[in-house]
Amino acid sequence: MTGPGEVKKAMKDERKRPGLAILNRVIKAFFRSQEWLSRNFDRIFPGKFRVDGHQDYRDNIVPPYLKAGQVIYDVGGGKCPYLNYESKRYYKAYVVGVDISEEELNKAPAGIYDKKVCADISCFAGENEADLVICQSLFEHVKDVEAAITSLSGILKPGGLALIFIPSRNALYARLNRLLPQELKNKILSLVYPKMRNMLGFPAYYDRCTPKELKRLAEKNNFSVMEEYYYYNSVYFYFLFPFYLFWRLWIVLFYIFSREQAAETFTLVLKKNS
Protein backbone atom coordinates (compact mmCIF):
# COMPACT_ATOMS: atom_id res chain seq x y z
CA MET A 1 0.00 0.00 0.00
CA THR A 2 1.27 3.49 -0.85
CA GLY A 3 2.05 5.51 2.29
CA PRO A 4 1.35 9.24 2.85
CA GLY A 5 5.03 10.08 2.37
CA GLU A 6 5.12 8.37 -1.03
CA VAL A 7 1.93 10.14 -2.13
CA LYS A 8 3.38 13.53 -1.15
CA LYS A 9 6.62 12.73 -2.97
CA ALA A 10 4.68 11.73 -6.12
CA MET A 11 2.64 14.97 -5.99
CA LYS A 12 5.82 16.99 -5.51
CA ASP A 13 7.46 15.25 -8.48
CA GLU A 14 4.38 15.99 -10.61
CA ARG A 15 4.55 19.69 -9.71
CA LYS A 16 8.20 19.76 -10.70
CA ARG A 17 7.50 18.05 -14.03
CA PRO A 18 3.97 19.07 -15.10
CA GLY A 19 4.55 18.04 -18.72
CA LEU A 20 5.44 14.50 -17.69
CA ALA A 21 2.42 14.29 -15.38
CA ILE A 22 0.09 15.38 -18.19
CA LEU A 23 1.63 12.85 -20.57
CA ASN A 24 1.21 10.13 -17.97
CA ARG A 25 -2.49 10.95 -17.56
CA VAL A 26 -2.98 11.02 -21.33
CA ILE A 27 -1.36 7.59 -21.72
CA LYS A 28 -3.51 6.11 -18.95
CA ALA A 29 -6.65 7.64 -20.48
CA PHE A 30 -5.70 6.17 -23.87
CA PHE A 31 -5.27 2.66 -22.42
CA ARG A 32 -8.59 2.97 -20.58
CA SER A 33 -10.35 3.92 -23.81
CA GLN A 34 -8.81 0.94 -25.62
CA GLU A 35 -9.90 -1.39 -22.85
CA TRP A 36 -13.42 0.04 -23.01
CA LEU A 37 -13.55 -0.57 -26.78
CA SER A 38 -12.24 -4.12 -26.40
CA ARG A 39 -14.66 -5.06 -23.61
CA ASN A 40 -17.66 -3.69 -25.49
CA PHE A 41 -16.64 -5.33 -28.76
CA ASP A 42 -16.37 -8.62 -26.85
CA ARG A 43 -20.14 -8.63 -26.32
CA ILE A 44 -20.76 -9.76 -29.90
CA PHE A 45 -19.18 -13.16 -29.16
CA PRO A 46 -21.03 -16.18 -27.73
CA GLY A 47 -20.83 -16.64 -23.97
CA LYS A 48 -18.30 -19.49 -24.12
CA PHE A 49 -15.78 -17.09 -25.68
CA ARG A 50 -16.18 -14.57 -22.85
CA VAL A 51 -15.69 -16.73 -19.75
CA ASP A 52 -12.70 -15.82 -17.59
CA GLY A 53 -11.05 -19.21 -17.09
CA HIS A 54 -9.21 -18.41 -13.88
CA GLN A 55 -12.30 -16.88 -12.29
CA ASP A 56 -14.37 -19.91 -13.31
CA TYR A 57 -11.74 -22.21 -11.79
CA ARG A 58 -11.82 -20.38 -8.48
CA ASP A 59 -15.57 -19.74 -8.25
CA ASN A 60 -17.16 -22.78 -9.88
CA ILE A 61 -14.75 -25.67 -10.37
CA VAL A 62 -12.82 -25.97 -7.11
CA PRO A 63 -15.61 -25.39 -4.52
CA PRO A 64 -17.61 -28.59 -5.23
CA TYR A 65 -14.49 -30.66 -4.52
CA LEU A 66 -13.83 -29.16 -1.09
CA LYS A 67 -14.89 -31.53 1.68
CA ALA A 68 -14.50 -31.48 5.46
CA GLY A 69 -11.24 -32.79 6.90
CA GLN A 70 -9.25 -33.00 3.67
CA VAL A 71 -5.48 -32.88 3.34
CA ILE A 72 -5.01 -30.25 0.64
CA TYR A 73 -1.78 -29.47 -1.17
CA ASP A 74 -1.69 -26.00 -2.70
CA VAL A 75 1.08 -26.37 -5.26
CA GLY A 76 2.57 -23.13 -6.54
CA GLY A 77 0.17 -20.97 -4.51
CA GLY A 78 3.01 -19.21 -2.69
CA LYS A 79 1.79 -15.93 -1.24
CA CYS A 80 -1.64 -16.33 -2.87
CA PRO A 81 -3.11 -19.65 -1.64
CA TYR A 82 -6.53 -20.69 -2.84
CA LEU A 83 -8.12 -21.00 0.59
CA ASN A 84 -8.43 -18.05 2.92
CA TYR A 85 -8.33 -18.47 6.69
CA GLU A 86 -12.14 -18.55 7.06
CA SER A 87 -12.66 -21.23 4.42
CA LYS A 88 -9.81 -23.29 5.82
CA ARG A 89 -11.45 -23.26 9.26
CA TYR A 90 -14.86 -24.02 7.78
CA TYR A 91 -13.60 -27.15 6.03
CA LYS A 92 -11.22 -28.11 8.85
CA ALA A 93 -8.59 -28.60 6.16
CA TYR A 94 -4.94 -29.43 6.66
CA VAL A 95 -3.17 -27.31 4.04
CA VAL A 96 0.35 -27.90 2.74
CA GLY A 97 1.92 -25.13 0.67
CA VAL A 98 4.47 -26.21 -1.92
CA ASP A 99 6.41 -23.54 -3.78
CA ILE A 100 9.86 -23.15 -5.30
CA SER A 101 10.28 -19.84 -3.46
CA GLU A 102 10.53 -19.75 0.33
CA GLU A 103 10.05 -15.98 0.17
CA GLU A 104 6.71 -16.42 -1.59
CA LEU A 105 5.55 -19.01 0.95
CA ASN A 106 6.46 -16.70 3.82
CA LYS A 107 4.37 -13.90 2.32
CA ALA A 108 1.20 -15.99 2.55
CA PRO A 109 -1.41 -14.88 5.13
CA ALA A 110 -0.60 -16.14 8.61
CA GLY A 111 -2.18 -19.45 9.55
CA ILE A 112 -3.08 -20.57 6.02
CA TYR A 113 -0.40 -23.22 5.62
CA ASP A 114 -0.10 -25.93 8.26
CA LYS A 115 3.11 -26.97 6.56
CA LYS A 116 5.39 -25.17 4.09
CA VAL A 117 7.53 -27.07 1.60
CA CYS A 118 10.08 -25.13 -0.41
CA ALA A 119 10.69 -27.36 -3.43
CA ASP A 120 10.66 -27.52 -7.20
CA ILE A 121 7.52 -29.52 -8.01
CA SER A 122 9.30 -31.23 -10.90
CA CYS A 123 11.61 -33.02 -8.44
CA PHE A 124 9.45 -33.29 -5.32
CA ALA A 125 8.77 -36.70 -3.77
CA GLY A 126 5.34 -36.79 -2.15
CA GLU A 127 3.99 -39.12 0.52
CA ASN A 128 0.70 -40.21 -1.09
CA GLU A 129 -1.27 -38.38 1.59
CA ALA A 130 -3.30 -35.67 -0.14
CA ASP A 131 -7.01 -35.86 -0.84
CA LEU A 132 -6.86 -32.84 -3.12
CA VAL A 133 -4.22 -30.89 -5.04
CA ILE A 134 -4.97 -27.32 -6.08
CA CYS A 135 -2.64 -26.07 -8.79
CA GLN A 136 -3.38 -22.80 -10.56
CA SER A 137 -1.21 -21.02 -13.16
CA LEU A 138 1.91 -22.98 -12.27
CA PHE A 139 2.70 -25.41 -15.07
CA GLU A 140 3.67 -22.69 -17.55
CA HIS A 141 6.58 -21.84 -15.21
CA VAL A 142 7.83 -25.44 -14.91
CA LYS A 143 10.65 -26.59 -17.18
CA ASP A 144 9.67 -30.28 -17.05
CA VAL A 145 5.90 -30.67 -16.85
CA GLU A 146 5.98 -34.45 -17.13
CA ALA A 147 8.12 -34.61 -13.98
CA ALA A 148 5.65 -32.25 -12.27
CA ILE A 149 2.72 -34.51 -13.19
CA THR A 150 4.64 -37.47 -11.75
CA SER A 151 5.17 -35.51 -8.53
CA LEU A 152 1.46 -34.72 -8.26
CA SER A 153 0.73 -38.42 -8.53
CA GLY A 154 3.17 -39.03 -5.67
CA ILE A 155 1.46 -36.42 -3.50
CA LEU A 156 -2.06 -37.84 -3.86
CA LYS A 157 -3.73 -40.82 -2.24
CA PRO A 158 -5.26 -43.38 -4.63
CA GLY A 159 -8.55 -41.82 -5.69
CA GLY A 160 -7.28 -38.32 -4.85
CA LEU A 161 -7.95 -35.42 -7.20
CA ALA A 162 -5.75 -32.80 -8.85
CA LEU A 163 -7.47 -29.61 -10.05
CA ILE A 164 -5.12 -27.95 -12.51
CA PHE A 165 -5.64 -24.57 -14.18
CA ILE A 166 -3.21 -23.99 -17.07
CA PRO A 167 -2.50 -21.15 -19.51
CA SER A 168 -2.05 -22.82 -22.89
CA ARG A 169 1.15 -22.87 -24.90
CA ASN A 170 -1.00 -22.36 -28.00
CA ALA A 171 -2.28 -18.96 -26.84
CA LEU A 172 -0.98 -15.96 -28.77
CA TYR A 173 0.24 -14.26 -25.58
CA ALA A 174 2.15 -17.44 -24.69
CA ARG A 175 3.86 -17.41 -28.07
CA LEU A 176 4.90 -13.79 -27.52
CA ASN A 177 5.93 -14.60 -23.97
CA ARG A 178 8.41 -17.18 -25.21
CA LEU A 179 9.89 -14.78 -27.78
CA LEU A 180 10.37 -11.62 -25.69
CA PRO A 181 13.15 -11.18 -23.09
CA GLN A 182 11.90 -11.38 -19.49
CA GLU A 183 12.98 -7.83 -18.59
CA LEU A 184 11.18 -6.37 -21.61
CA LYS A 185 8.00 -8.34 -20.82
CA ASN A 186 8.04 -7.05 -17.25
CA LYS A 187 8.39 -3.44 -18.39
CA ILE A 188 5.55 -3.75 -20.91
CA LEU A 189 3.16 -5.39 -18.44
CA SER A 190 4.06 -2.90 -15.71
CA LEU A 191 3.24 -0.03 -18.04
CA VAL A 192 0.03 -1.42 -19.48
CA TYR A 193 -1.25 -3.31 -16.40
CA PRO A 194 0.23 -1.67 -13.25
CA LYS A 195 -1.80 -3.99 -11.00
CA MET A 196 0.22 -6.95 -12.31
CA ARG A 197 3.56 -5.62 -11.00
CA ASN A 198 3.50 -7.92 -7.97
CA MET A 199 2.88 -10.96 -10.21
CA LEU A 200 5.91 -10.46 -12.45
CA GLY A 201 9.32 -12.05 -12.21
CA PHE A 202 8.71 -15.74 -12.92
CA PRO A 203 9.89 -16.92 -16.36
CA ALA A 204 7.44 -18.96 -18.41
CA TYR A 205 8.38 -22.02 -20.48
CA TYR A 206 4.99 -23.54 -21.40
CA ASP A 207 6.53 -26.99 -21.62
CA ARG A 208 3.84 -29.25 -23.16
CA CYS A 209 1.13 -26.94 -21.81
CA THR A 210 -1.54 -27.87 -24.35
CA PRO A 211 -4.76 -29.82 -23.76
CA LYS A 212 -3.62 -32.73 -25.91
CA GLU A 213 -0.18 -33.04 -24.29
CA LEU A 214 -1.38 -32.58 -20.72
CA LYS A 215 -4.06 -35.26 -21.05
CA ARG A 216 -1.52 -37.64 -22.57
CA LEU A 217 0.94 -37.03 -19.73
CA ALA A 218 -1.80 -37.43 -17.12
CA GLU A 219 -2.90 -40.80 -18.46
CA LYS A 220 0.73 -41.91 -18.71
CA ASN A 221 1.24 -41.08 -15.01
CA ASN A 222 -1.63 -43.06 -13.47
CA PHE A 223 -4.35 -40.40 -13.78
CA SER A 224 -7.78 -40.49 -15.34
CA VAL A 225 -9.17 -37.26 -16.80
CA MET A 226 -12.50 -36.75 -15.01
CA GLU A 227 -13.43 -33.32 -16.34
CA GLU A 228 -12.01 -30.78 -18.74
CA TYR A 229 -12.90 -27.12 -19.29
CA TYR A 230 -11.71 -24.82 -22.06
CA TYR A 231 -11.64 -21.02 -22.18
CA TYR A 232 -11.16 -18.67 -25.09
CA ASN A 233 -10.76 -15.37 -23.30
CA SER A 234 -7.88 -13.33 -21.86
CA VAL A 235 -7.18 -9.67 -21.12
CA TYR A 236 -3.66 -9.30 -22.48
CA PHE A 237 -4.65 -7.41 -25.63
CA TYR A 238 -7.33 -5.17 -24.15
CA PHE A 239 -4.82 -2.31 -24.01
CA LEU A 240 -4.83 -1.75 -27.79
CA PHE A 241 -8.03 -2.40 -29.71
CA PRO A 242 -6.42 -3.21 -33.12
CA PHE A 243 -4.33 -5.94 -31.41
CA TYR A 244 -7.40 -7.15 -29.62
CA LEU A 245 -9.42 -7.33 -32.86
CA PHE A 246 -6.65 -9.29 -34.59
CA TRP A 247 -6.41 -11.66 -31.61
CA ARG A 248 -10.17 -12.27 -31.55
CA LEU A 249 -10.23 -13.11 -35.25
CA TRP A 250 -7.31 -15.46 -34.70
CA ILE A 251 -9.11 -17.24 -31.84
CA VAL A 252 -12.28 -17.76 -33.90
CA LEU A 253 -10.37 -19.21 -36.88
CA PHE A 254 -8.19 -21.37 -34.62
CA TYR A 255 -11.28 -22.69 -32.83
CA ILE A 256 -13.03 -23.56 -36.12
CA PHE A 257 -10.14 -25.79 -37.15
CA SER A 258 -8.78 -27.06 -33.81
CA ARG A 259 -11.55 -26.75 -31.20
CA GLU A 260 -10.14 -27.07 -27.65
CA GLN A 261 -6.54 -26.76 -28.89
CA ALA A 262 -7.40 -23.09 -29.48
CA ALA A 263 -8.13 -22.51 -25.80
CA GLU A 264 -6.26 -19.66 -24.12
CA THR A 265 -6.49 -21.43 -20.77
CA PHE A 266 -7.94 -24.73 -19.61
CA THR A 267 -8.67 -26.75 -16.49
CA LEU A 268 -8.25 -30.50 -16.02
CA VAL A 269 -9.72 -32.47 -13.13
CA LEU A 270 -7.50 -35.54 -12.71
CA LYS A 271 -8.16 -38.56 -10.52
CA LYS A 272 -5.29 -40.74 -9.36
CA ASN A 273 -6.00 -44.35 -10.19
CA SER A 274 -5.80 -47.02 -7.50
**19 domain residue, yes or no:** no
**CA angle, 124 then 125 then 129, to 5°:** 120
In the predicted structure, residue 220 carries a pLDDT above the cut 90: yes
The amino acid occupying position 61 is: I
Give CA–CA dist 144/151, Å, rounded. 11
Q: The domain that contains 250 carries what CATH number?
A: 3.40.50.150
Is the pLDDT reported for residue 30 higher than 70?
A: yes
**Does 200 score more than 70 pLDDT?**
no
Number of domains in the chain: 1
Reference 172, options 258, 268, 246; nearest CA is 246
Q: Residue 234 domain-assigned?
A: yes
Helix axes 18-41, 241-258, angle to 10 degrees: 30
Domain contains 194: no
Q: Looking at the domain assignment, is residue 8 inside a domain?
A: no
pLDDT attached to residue 172:
84
Instruction: Establish if 4 belongs to a structural domain.
Output: no
259-272 per-position pLDDT tens digit: 999 999 999 999 99
Residues 134, 82: contact at Cβ < 8 Å?
yes
For 136-166, write each residue's pLDDT tens digit. Answer: 999 999 999 999 999 999 999 999 999 999 9
Instruction: Give 180 or 241, the one with higher predicted confidence.
Output: 241
Does residue 89 sit within a domain? yes
Q: Is 119 within a domain? A: yes
Residues 6 or more apart in contact with residue 10 via CB below 8 angstroms: none
Q: How confident is the model over 227-255, as a mean pLDDT?
A: 91
Q: Is residue 213 in some structural domain?
A: yes
Average pLDDT on 196-224 reads: 85
Q: Is 138 exposed, middle or buried (0-12, 13-18, 19+ CB in 10 A)?
A: buried
User: Average per-residue pLDDT in the chain?
Assistant: 88
Could you tell me which residues come within 8 angstroms of residue 185 by beta carbon, excluding any fewer than 6 positions away?
A: 177, 200
Supply the DSSP string of 90-120, one letter for each residue. Answer: HHT-EEEEEES-HHHHHTSPTTS-SEEEE--
Domain that holds residue 168: 47-176+207-272
